[in-house]
Amino acid sequence: MDFQRTMVGGISLPRLIIGSNWFLGYSHTSSAADSMIKQKNDNALVLAEILEVYLNAGINAIMAPITGSDYLINAIKIAENKTGQKMIIIDTPGINVDDTEAARKEAERTIKQSKENGATFCFLHHSSAEQLVNKNKRTIDRLPDYLYMIRENGLIPGLSAHMPELIVYADQNEYDVESYVQIYNCAGFLMQVEIENVHRIIWEAKKPVMTIKAMAAGRVSPFVGLSFNWHTIRPCDMVTVGSFTVEEAYEDIEISRAALEHRPPVLTARDSPFVTEILHSK
């Protein structure tokens, strides 16, 4: 089935993007939760099964720091072969942004590796991009150098922006970026300013925005988190969601479809001991 799509840098993308924290072990909860993720999903065959669910639903884009994640790269290839569909990779590499010749060569090697790993997009990871921000001048110093490297290597540039200022400054200075990644959720989790202000920044952005952490890393339910994001972003914007299991992938897709179609999602009720009868009533 097809999923709603949008255009980014001339490429058609599904508005729901596969996230990778629940593949790579970044729970934002605890080291025990990180270990749980890695113990289950540090396996290309297991991840491929989850990716197949998305590909079969017309969701053929994944956001991840691909470099160094060999088992995820293998999982993508397995899922592509089984479904006959190509995955669009949005790589978010961390690069060395020191202002030295050696660091620039290292950064370019990282970007070249992104291309070799099959990425279509290359978005500087927020941990690198935010080192370049100058709030006094409202600039992102030397960012154009790295965006040029990305273009020169045949990739489409974007910007991972945990700091909402990155979107504002990139737009004001007309930096060569085609999209932004921005934390956005109803709980305000990890957001550096109020939800209302990030909402305004997203709506005023000159390029499509890929929102992340819709469920606040498990702090709100999928129905609440995904419904909030879908109903408060623009038609050109996207939601990135991570799934721990095949079942979670099916649920997240259904909740998202329902939100976009303005209908209730068709979901199995949650189990609990001595559940109140009304929760299972028709």
Count CB-CB contacts under 10 A for residue 46: 15
Q: How many domains does the chain have?
A: 1
> Which pLDDT score is estimated for 37?
83
pLDDT of residue 69: 87
pTM, rounded to two decimals:
0.93
pLDDT at residue number 75: 96
Range of the domain at 228: 5-280
- Domain with 34 in it: what CATH number? 3.20.20.100
- The pLDDT, as a whole number, for residue 273 is 72
Tens-level pLDDT at each residue, the chain (282 residues): 689 999 999 999 999 999 988 888 788 889 998 898 888 888 999 999 999 999 999 999 999 999 888 999 999 999 999 999 999 999 999 999 999 999 999 999 999 999 999 999 999 999 999 999 999 999 999 999 999 999 999 999 999 988 999 999 999 999 999 999 999 999 999 999 999 999 999 999 999 999 999 999 999 999 999 999 999 999 999 999 999 999 999 999 999 999 999 999 998 877 777 666 666 554
- Quote the pLDDT of residue 282: 47
Structure-derived torsion over alpha carbons of residues 212, 49, 111, 95, reported in degrees to the nearest 10: 50
